[in-house]
Structure 1
Amino acid sequence: MTIEHVALYVEDLENEKELFEKYFGGEAGCRYHDENTGFTSYFISFEDGARLEIMNMPESKRYENAPGLIGYAHIAFHAGSKENVDMLTDKLRAAGYVVVSGPRTTGDGYYESCIEDREGNIIEITI
């Protein structure tokens, strides 16, 4: 069994689409908009077949972020090498994204960095 896609509610759909296309090699499909509910989304496809659905509802609001919340913590992208992790991290930092951690080797042996998208969602870049 495989995961078909992961979905993420966001406030700024177009900004998130640009992030995943420009820096992570995603390709967005057609924008979907339901006139009745206001729901809008894009499916973003990646080279290996993985898909991410970014979604928005007009009344969607971010809850105050607090440590200890339960739920999805981040999305991780495989960059292929330590050099690629470093290069992408530097590129995102230069574009104004906040680097939350790394690049570093974690206690369990992963080489990674983590950035925040413009909405505070964590994106991990790993070998």
Structure 2
Amino acid sequence: MNLEHVAIWTADLERLKAYYQQYFGGVPNGKYVNPQKAFQSYFLSFASGARLEIMHRPNIPANLNDTKGKQHQGIIHLAFGVETMAEVEEKALELRAAGYPILSGPRKTGDGYYEFETLDPDNNRIEVTTLYKAG
């Protein structure tokens, strides 16, 4: 069994689609629109085969995550894997230069990863990570 996709509500569908395309290589399908439910969505596919569904409906409340580290129960982050520690550092620099906050890292974790945390335009937590070899 595999995880088919993860879905995120957003107030700005086009902005979030552009973010995941530009910074993580997501390839969107055509926009789905259901006028009866005031619902719109895209699926973004990634090189690994993973997919992210971004959805909009006007009556969905705002995300409660914030840049000060406040978290809530439920799914808390999406993790994007890269091949090297240098790629983790490069992505952190790229996102910081584009104005996105780096919440922690890049750093080595106790469970064998080198990673950093950031927020997407809707304050969804994102990790960029790779395995490191101690030594």
TM-score, length basis structure 2? 0.88
Residue number in structure 2 paired with 1:40 = 40
The alignment status of 1:79 with 2:76, answered yes or no, reads no
The alignment status of 1:94 with 2:100, answered yes or no, reads no
**Residues 65 and 103 (structure 1), Cα distance of their counterparts in 2 relative to 1, 3 Å cut:** closer
Residue number in structure 1 paired with 2:125 = 122
Q: Paired residues, what number?
A: 127
**Identity across aligned pairs (percent)?**
44
Q: Give the whole-Å Cα distance in 2 for the aligned partners of 1:17 and 1:64.
A: 20
**Residues 14 and 63 (structure 1), Cα distance of their counterparts in 2 relative to 1, 3 Å cut:** closer
Q: Give the whole-Å Cα distance in 1 for the aligned partners of 2:112 and 2:119.
A: 22
Whichever residue aligns with residue 117 of structure 1, its letter is: D
Runs of 4+ in 1 over 3 A off after TM superposition: 63-68
Residue number in structure 2 paired with 1:20 = 20
SS at match of 2:14: helix
TM-score, length basis structure 1? 0.94
- Deviation, 1:31, is 0.7
SS at match of 1:97: coil
Q: Give the whole-Å Cα distance in 2 for the aligned partners of 1:52 and 1:102.
A: 24
Q: Give the whole-Å Cα distance in 2 for the aligned partners of 1:68 and 1:22.
A: 26
Q: Give the whole-Å Cα distance in 2 for the aligned partners of 1:126 and 1:68.
A: 20
Q: Give the whole-Å Cα distance in 2 for the aligned partners of 1:18 and 1:65.
A: 21
The alignment status of 1:58 with 2:53, answered yes or no, reads no
- Deviation, 1:109, is 2.3
Whichever residue aligns with residue 41 of structure 2, its letter is: S
Q: Give the whole-Å Cα distance in 1 for the aligned partners of 2:92 and 2:4.
A: 27
Residue number in structure 2 paired with 1:110 = 113
The alignment status of 1:70 with 2:44, answered yes or no, reads no
Provide the aligned C-alpha RMSD in A.
1.4
Q: Give the whole-Å Cα distance in 2 for the aligned partners of 1:110 and 1:29.
A: 32
